[in-house]
Amino acid sequence: MFFNRHKFQKMLFIVTSLFLSMVASSCSKSEEPKPYISQPKTPEDLNWKFETTPVWADEFNYSGQPDAAKWGYDIGGTGWGNNELQYYTNSTSNANVSDGTLKITAKKESKEGKEYTSARIVTKNKGDFLYGRFEIKAKLPTGRGTWPAIWMLPTDWAYGGWPKSGEIDIMEHVGYDQNKVHITVHTEAYNHGKNTQKGQSKVIETASTAFHTYRVDWTPYAVRGYIDDAPVFQFVNEGKGFEVWPFDKRFHLLLNIAVGGNWGGAQGVDPNVFPQTMEVDYVRVYKMIEK
């Protein structure tokens, strides 16, 4: 048989080229990085504990204005997003410490076009916290039109305006529904604007005649609410992003009495019940022990 060397070399070159091309293609495909698809992190309850000595506290064992190193004021009469009727001041007639307690007093008096005055004191930039145990011992006002609250708002509003960045209500009460105390959270997904807020209430027969402790334990897993150390409310992190759980940023405390408003004034305001006072025996914050 005649052997054509030139033809054979040409064929060998073609076969070799095809083989090398296939190998290169295979290697290229195997080395391509796979796209990363993030998965929501499923929250896990690590049974966090809290330190036994407060990291921040006010025992109100002094007299005069609330301690300026710990408290500031929200001032004004804008309605505060709820059509409230009071003008918030920094006057000692509305927020004063004496005989071992803080007294926040709503009064029937005219100021800046409003018919009532009150106080809303805040720890913003003086006491800002990410997780912890928050305990407040207080005696509530009474009377139709009063709306006292012990609550928390985000310091930095990292996810946007209300309700995107969240709200934690440690205690809320409206005077027309005496002795029924509420613990609530608000988020983008769950808020009273949509009537989807998450909360629970409990009847405390002596809410306005005796002191009771209102507490929230806030961890990466849940916000849990207690009254006199008895569990009342739990909101668990669903692991679905800030719309459901914006509670991974720092928050601060607020204490106030509103007058009237969308909820407090839902059954009107009785001007004859004023002045009304919320007394606070102490505010204590305990640091969460990291795990």
Residue 17 binned pLDDT confidence (cut-offs 50, 70, 90): low
> How far apart (Å, rounded) are the C-alpha atoms in residues 160 and 167?
12
Among 13-17, 103-107, 141-145, 163-167, which stretch is predicted with the lowest mean pLDDT?
Answer: 13-17
Q: Is the peptide bond before 220 cis (omega within 30 degrees of 0)?
A: no
| Residue-wise pLDDT tens digits, 40-73 | 567 899 999 999 999 999 999 999 999 999 999 9
What are 246's two structure tokens? 């914006």
| Residue-wise pLDDT tens digits, 234-271 | 999 999 999 999 999 999 999 999 999 999 999 999 99
pLDDT at residue 8, as a whole number: 47
Q: Domain residues of the chain, as ranges?
A: 56-286
pLDDT at residue 43, as a whole number: 85
Q: What is the pTM of this model?
A: 0.86
> How far apart (Å, rounded) are the C-alpha atoms in residues 120 and 255?
6
Residue 10 binned pLDDT confidence (cut-offs 50, 70, 90): low
> How far apart (Å, rounded) are the C-alpha atoms in residues 21 and 146?
81
- Determine contact, residues 215/151, Cβ cutoff 8 Å: no
- What number is the average pLDDT over the span 177-205? 97
Catalytic annotation, residues = 167, 172
Q: Which CATH class is domain 56-286?
A: mainly beta
